[in-house]
Amino acid sequence: VEEKSEESSENLQPRPPVVVVMGHVDHGKTTLLDTIRKTNVAAREKGGITQHIGASMVELPDGRKITFLDTPGHEAFTSLRARGAQVTDIAVLVVAADDGVMPQTIEAINHARAFNLPIIVAVNKIDKPDADPQKVRRELSELGLIPEEWGGDTIFVDISAKTGKNVDTLLEYILLLAELLELKADPTKKAKGVIIEAKLDKQRGPVATVLVQEGTLRVGDVFVAGVTYGRVRAMIDDKGRNIKEAGPSTPVEVLGFEDLPIPGDTLKVVDDEKTARELAEENRTKLQQQEKAPKAL
Ligand code: GDP
């Protein structure tokens, strides 16, 4: 039963964009994410020790933030996709300028289109002598991604993930696009988010990375997450810091699950443990019914 006050969103505020970096293997996705994290002021101030939690938030010198999900292709993202979870706002398509469009480039485009994600193209490895960024533009134009400079509506940025050249420009374009998308969330609501990753930690028990999508998640909050539930015992951000609260678009590692949640599941803060248990039970029943029902197609 939803409370009335939760239905209206009078407190909408701009939130950071959630970005996924996609592209063919070896085209430079990991290098790009590493470069972005290294130049990230927040990480640098704390000594640059980043935690692997499946997502990270970078902060520009002026305070603007961007959340990056780790590159998909792994199980978690497939599960997110299968559940139709809308997690990301923008896709950055990395294409190596010395290689051009490859099978996984096309896969990535299809993936982004299936989710209605606007695409920004990062033409990478322009430091290489055999780089041909114009060829990448031609090949992608044939696939319907026409550069703005050719009269289309796709932003292309020539970068070198390795040297860092133009990576700041790429971030600017991401934020520009985010502004056009008018991404907003209400930080005053009870938190709602999506499970990005989950693992069983020998010492800490079930641990999951949650991307907060609405509201603010706090230590002590009681939640339901798919067929499981729990109470937030501790939260750790992508820089390894213990935090007490996490607002919209923040990825955070959460401790306090009864059982391992499933990536793609929604986490929702509720009033008390009884409600959490009941909702988890309801979800379990629903899931069992779905499993029994004959599959469409
Ligand atoms: P991923 O598979 O897409 O994550 O690709 P990686 O980031 O692992 O990069 C694959 C290889 O390309 C590595 O050896 C990187 O050092 C190299 N690489 C990535 N970006 C650049 C770049 O901008 N310039 C050059 N010269 N090499 C790059």
Question: What's the pLDDT tens digit per position in 12-28?
Answer: 999 999 999 999 999 99
Atom 11, ligand 1: residue with shortest CA distance: 26
Q: In the predicted model, what is the mean pLDDT of the chain?
A: 89
Distance of CA 95 from the midpoint of ligand 1 (Å) = 10
Q: Residue 224: pLDDT above 80?
A: yes
Distance of CA 3 from the midpoint of ligand 1 (Å) = 50
Q: Decide if 265 contacts 73 (C-beta within 8 A).
A: no
* pLDDT mean over 213-217: 97
Confidence category of residue 81, pLDDT binned at 50, 70, 90: low
Q: Residue 44: pLDDT above 70?
A: no
Count the neighbouring beta carbons within 10 Å of the beta carbon of residue 82: 10
Contacts of 142 by beta carbon, 8 Å cutoff, 6+ apart: none
Q: Residue 7: pLDDT above 60?
A: no
Burial 191-206 (b: 16+ CB within 10 A, else e): bbbbbbbbeeeeeeeb
Helix (H) / strand (E) element for 141: namely: helix 133-142
Q: What is the pTM of this model?
A: 0.90
The answer to the question of whether 28 is labelled as a binding residue is: yes
Report pLDDT for 8. Answer: 59
Distance of CA 16 from the midpoint of ligand 1 (Å) = 27
Cβ of residue 123 lying under 6 Å from some atom of ligand 1: no
Q: Decide if 262 contacts 226 (C-beta within 8 A).
A: yes
Percent of the chain with pLDDT over 90: 76
Report pLDDT for 26. Answer: 96
* pLDDT mean over 137-146: 98
Count the neighbouring beta carbons within 10 Å of the beta carbon of residue 188: 15
Q: What angle do CA 162, 163, 167 make, to 5 degrees?
A: 90
The answer to the question of whether 125 is labelled as a binding residue is: yes
Contacts of 83 by beta carbon, 8 Å cutoff, 6+ apart: 264, 265
Q: Decide if 155 contacts 129 (C-beta within 8 A).
A: no
Per-residue pLDDT tens digits for 117-128: 999 999 999 999
27 CB burial (10 A radius; 0-12, 13-18, 19+): buried
CA–CA separation, 261 vs 196, rounded Å? Answer: 10
* pLDDT mean over 47-76: 77
From 17-21, 111-115, 226-230, 289-293, the region with the lowest mean pLDDT: 289-293
Report pLDDT for 86. Answer: 76
Report pLDDT for 188. Answer: 96
- Atom of ligand 1 at shortest range from CA of 94: 3
Q: Residue 42: pLDDT above 50?
A: no
Cβ of residue 230 lying under 6 Å from some atom of ligand 1: no
Report pLDDT for 73. Answer: 53
Report pLDDT for 95. Answer: 98
How far lies 215's CA from each of 13, 185, 210, 294, in Å? Answer: 10, 7, 13, 37
Q: Residue 9: pLDDT above 70?
A: no
The answer to the question of whether 71 is labelled as a binding residue is: yes
- Atom of ligand 1 at shortest range from CA of 124: 23
Report pLDDT for 2. Answer: 47
Backbone angles phi, psi at 148, to 5 degrees: -55, -40
Per-residue pLDDT tens digits for 183-203: 999 999 999 999 998 999 999
Cβ of residue 29 lying under 6 Å from some atom of ligand 1: yes
Cβ of residue 25 lying under 6 Å from some atom of ligand 1: yes
Report the candidate in 52, 48, 68 with the shortest Cα–Cα distance to residue 171.
Answer: 68
Cβ of residue 239 lying under 6 Å from some atom of ligand 1: no
Cβ of residue 268 lying under 6 Å from some atom of ligand 1: no
Distance of CA 27 from the midpoint of ligand 1 (Å) = 6
